[in-house]
Chain A
Amino acid sequence: MIEMINLNKSFGSNHVLRGVTLRVETGESMVVIGGSGSGKSVLLKHIIGILKPDEGKVLIDGTDISALNENELNELRKKFGMLFQMAALFDSMSVWENVGFALMRNKEIPKKDIKAVAVEKLKLVGLAGVEDLMPSELSGGMKKRVGLARAIAHEPEILLYDEPTTGLDPILADAINDLLVEMKQKLSITSVAITHDMNSAYKIADRIAMLYKGEIIGTGTPDEIRNTQNPVIRQFITGSSVGPIKIEGVHNERNINRT
């Protein structure tokens, strides 16, 4: 179980998180939606302890992660897998070395078996015959899949997805969504995804939470979110430029013409 309690984080004068409180149950798939620059990535990086909150805390199965020392934090991180927005594959290593990275570091499996495990994880995300390629030889969709294979290679209990479908065409995006749903069913893991792609959110979420101006302004099942009366959430999920959410730095002429 992941609990975020009153998280506050500022970068200089920019107050990004303003008291985020959110709870993700074990086995649940939570999707956090929100506009660009709303602090979604910052929130995700707090869950795995890459960023530390100025105020508030993150509890993973009851353990406060900002109270851990480095070794304890690294132990805890073995429970996690994270898929990055642009996959963040290590470009100096081949595909299988990327997938087997955590296994090689943890030294729990003999070195000679790691490649076989990596190939097996690649199959799980629908890739075959790419293990000896370098990341630069892969397409965007394949990189995401390799990133996912790397995230699940050490069999984590919690998966974090940073905009899993961004930058992919709609068909590839849907294929990735299917893959995430499949992962959830096969591996029964807790997951937190952040996205602004509503198709993806509806498809993979058990619950959706909306982050707006550094706060969670509403949570609910996909159906509850679809039928919400909250004007901010409504505007976001319908993708309208007119409404309470103002686009920063853009002068909205349509509003002026109507008056």
Chain B
Amino acid sequence: MLKIIELIGRTIIRFAEGIGQILTLLLQVLKQMLRPPFEIRNTFKQMLEIGVRSLPVVLITAIFTGMVFALQTYTGFKRFGAEAVVGTVVALSMTRELGPVLTGLIVAGRAGAAMAAELGTMRVTEQIDALETLATNPIKYLIVPRLIAGTLMLPALAIVADLIGIIGGYFITVGLFDTSSIVYWKRTWNYLETSDIYNGLIKAGFFGASISLISCYKGFYTRGGAEGVGKATTGAVVLSSMTILISDYFLSAWLFK
């Protein structure tokens, strides 16, 4: 019994320590972010890596999600004669939920893993120490560009995902089920509010910042060789994904009152 309490206590302490370390890192990152010189070239490089290079997989995910969503809603809603609202359902789900969350999960798996692995390898091969000896603050040089790029590129990817998802829904509803094209678009635009779109994008920005911060934290504080890099990478993806899914609930409850 005592051992169980001890274990619970230790887990809570470790969890609190982790949160504290991430927040301390965030403070340092914000401080470095405001201080010139600005790492513009590095930031563009990371925007290319996180944003542009994630685009193909985001497009494929979005179009198929939109398609399957239209397919399932159409056949399901037909049971009570509501198949005309498919366009609305797809548009609302994509902009408010699926666009930001799926993009977040994809970027966590792709770019988050890459960040943790790259920074982790740099740590265990002393490249981060080498940066310091060359009078370069590693937080400024490595983490600030990734945090900015993540925060900006996730909303950009999410809005593309929203649009492509809605187009995927169109293909199925209009192409497969012969609904009129005018009805689909009318249903989509009539009930969609701008707040659905921009609140979804705010969530995406938060997810982007979380993925970058968590993955950089995991990579930056890697210990113990190749195994450590592996653990950091897995940890980054798991923790980023969990953060996206859990914070999504609370952000949605707050933004879409």
Looking at the complex, which of B10-18, B127-135, B173-181 is the stretch in contact with chain A?
A: B127-135
Question: Are A106 and B135 within 8 A (Cβ)?
Answer: yes
Interface size of A in residues (CB-CB distance below 8 Å): 27
- 10 A-B pairs, CB-CB below 8 angstroms? A48-B132, A78-B135, A84-B126, A84-B129, A84-B130, A88-B126, A88-B127, A90-B122, A101-B134, A102-B134
Docked Cα-Cα span, A88 to B136, in Å, equals: 15
Task: Report the minimum CB–CB distance from A125 to chain B (whole Å).
Answer: 17
Residues of chain B touching chain A, judged by Cβ–Cβ distance below 8 Å, are 118, 121-122, 125-127, 129-130, 132-137
**Contact status B130-A90, CB under 8 Å:** yes
Name A residues whose Cβ lies closer than 8 Å to a Cβ of B. 45, 48-50, 70, 74-75, 77-78, 80-82, 84-86, 88-92, 101-102, 105-106, 150, 154, 160
Question: In the bound complex, what is the Cα–Cα distance between A75 and B126 (angstroms)?
Answer: 21
The answer to whether A50 touches B127, judged by C-beta atoms less than 8 angstroms apart, is: no
- Minimum distance in angstroms from A62 CB to a CB of chain B: 20
Which residues of B have CB within 8 Å of A49?
132
Nearest chain B CB to A114 CB, angstrom units? 14
- Indicate if the CB atoms of A88 and B135 lie closer than 8 Å: no
> Roughly how many angstroms separate A199 CA and B41 CA in the complex, as a whole number?
45
A226 to chain B minimum Cβ distance, whole angstroms, is: 32
The one of B118, B125, B137 in contact with A88, judged by C-beta atoms closer than 8 angstroms, is B125
> Which residues of A are found within 8 Å of B122, using beta-carbon distances?
90
Q: How far is the CA of A104 from the CA of B108 in the complex (A)?
A: 32
Establish whether residues A105 and B135, one from each chain, have CB atoms under 8 Å apart when the complex forms: yes
Q: From A84, which residue of chain B is reached at the shortest CB distance?
A: B126
Tell me, in angstroms, the Cα distance from A75 to B132 when the chains sit together: 11
* Complex Cα spacing A121 to B135, Å: 19
Across-interface contacts of A45 in B (CB, < 8 A) = 129
Known: A45-B129, A48-B133. 10 other contacts (CB 8 A): A74-B135, A74-B136, A81-B133, A88-B125, A88-B126, A89-B127, A90-B127, A91-B125, A102-B135, A160-B133
CA distance A75 to B137 in the complex (A): 12
**Which residues on the A side are within 8 Å of B118 (C-beta)?**
92
Q: Could you tell me if B125 and A86 are in contact, using CB atoms closer than 8 angstroms?
A: yes
Contact (Cβ within 8 A) A77 B127: no
Q: Specify which of A74, A86, A92 is in contact with B137 (CB 8 Å cutoff).
A: A74
